[in-house]
Each structure stands twice: as C-alpha cells, then as structure tokens.
Amino acid sequence: MTSETKKKSALEQIINRAIEQNPQIKDILKSFEPIIVKQNYLMASAIFPKSNYSSIDKEKLKAGVPVCRQINLFLPDDPFKEIVSSLGKAIKAGLPALDEDINRILDLIRKGKINLKDYCLPYPDCDSKLIDRWVEKVKVEREPLVFLINITARVILEARAKEIMADIGPFDWEKGYCPICGDFPSIALIEEEGGKRFLHCSTCGQDWRFTRVTCPYCEKETRKDMEYFYVENKTQEAAFVCDKCKKYLVTLYRAGKLFERDMDVSAMSLIHMDMLMQDKGYTPMTACVWNVLK
C-alpha cells in the first residue's frame, strides 16, 4: 500500500465517522475529500526548498509577533505549479461544477498569465488588487481562483509550519491568532482531561494552546459576555461566542483520544453551528470556504 493510499484510507475513515455523526454534512465532506487527501499527500511528498530559521526570535514570539512577521513563509523556489496542478485535478474530482473554471485557470497558470508567486511571496501582505487585475485582464471567475490559491498556499504553509516547529522547538505564545501565519482559528478543541483549549488554524494547519476564559479575537478576559451555545443532544459540539466583538468559534469537546482526528474535517462537520451562529448575528473569527454562508 502506497503512502498516498494509506493517507487516503485514514482520511476516508475520519470523514466517514464525521458523516455518521452529522449526516447532514455528507455532501460537503465528500466534495472536499479528494482535496483534503491530495493536500495531505503533497505536504508529505512534495520537495520544498530548505529555509534558514535562525532569525526567528522567541522573545518576539513571546511578545506576540508571529513567524510570518519575522521571516518569509513562501520562497521563490516553492513548487507552486506542481501543487496547483495536482490540486486542480482534486477540485474537479470533488466539485465537478468548477471543471471549466479550473481548467481555464490552470491553463493561464501554465502560460504564465497568472503567477501565484506574485501573490503569495509578500505574505502576509498579499495584494488582493492583484487578484482583481487577473480577474479583469484574463477574464476568470474570482471565487474559483481565490479557492485554488488558498488551498495551494495551505500545502506550502503547513509543510513550512511543521518544519519551523521542528527546528525552533517549544516557545511561549499567548495570542488568539496563529503563531506561524498570524491568522485567526477556524475551530477549537477542548480536552476532557484538564479542560485545556487548543485552537486550530485552517490557513497553515498549526495548533496551539489558549486560555478558555479569553476571546481569541478581541482578547476580552472576563467570563461575562462570553458564552457557549450547544445543539440539543450533542454536548460535544458547541460554539464559543463573544458579545464584545460579535465573533464565534466552533468548538469540539474531546473525551479521550480513541480516534484519529483531522481538525479541518471537524470544522466542516460543524457547519450547522456556523449556520446557527450567523443567524444570530455573529461572524466567524476567520473566513473559510465552508463557513461563509451569506
């Protein structure tokens, strides 16, 4: 069994278990399954250029300066074209309605009329106007283009985040935004043992521990005005909300570690909580393709 087949099998089990628990999200998870499998395979198999992480200052991290504000997370020699080509095929497999749009975008990338490096290399100060210019100049649909860019960036960012963490070792971090890429979390996980809360970043895949009594977005530190909403008979699924910043964060309570988990799959499986919170007037701490519902 190849490494890609093993990874696919493990992710299929995770996705099928999530569907069993929340059958209403079957269509969205099955649509994203080829993309998630391919992203995981590429993160493990693609050849990324080595970077020097010696300039990452742990004192700056302790002060809340993420890695993306200390070094470049994207490099000119990153395999953008190889990754985007593989992911384009995965998108078409899971979301065939985008087939024509993705084929056109991939053709423009091959011809050099869209260069993902131009957009990604300045990260986190990417110029959204560059996407506007591409949309206008080469006549492509914006949403499929942004989607393709984001899932391609995720592969590179997560691979680099894992390399960075292995290189620099433990460090102090007390912020609600990601210590690697600076984005806000898409989901939280609360451990039953000890009640520790861990936040997950859907932009680069990084997880980090964060206090339960502080809003990750606005850093409000009191229990007042912060609540958890639950769906009846589903005590392990919740949404943390803050009435100061009007943000919410879907949250899972984990009893033990019997099953392997993919946090992006978990976030997608809580789309019913996204719908509930957005109907109440709250907005997610970060926008993902699956939680932007209006």
Q: How many CA atoms lie within 13 A of 176 on its CB side?
A: 20
What is the band of 225 on the pLDDT scale with cuts at 50, 70, 90?
Answer: low
Q: Could you report the per-residue pLDDT of 74-113, keeping only the tens digit for each?
A: 999 999 999 999 999 999 999 999 999 999 999 999 999 9
Q: How many CA atoms lie within 13 A of 261 on its CB side?
A: 20
Domain-wise residue ranges, the chain: 46-168, 187-284
Of the candidates 226, 206, 235, the one whose C-alpha atom is nearest the C-alpha of residue 282 is 226
H-helix or E-strand spanning residue 73: none
What is the band of 292 on the pLDDT scale with cuts at 50, 70, 90?
Answer: confident
Give the pTM.
Answer: 0.93
Q: Could you report the per-residue pLDDT of 116-158, keeping only the tens digit for each?
A: 999 999 999 999 999 999 999 999 999 999 999 999 999 999 9
Cα angle for residues 202, 3, 255 (degrees, 5° grid): 50
Q: How many angstroms separate the CA atoms of 253 and 153, rounded?
A: 29
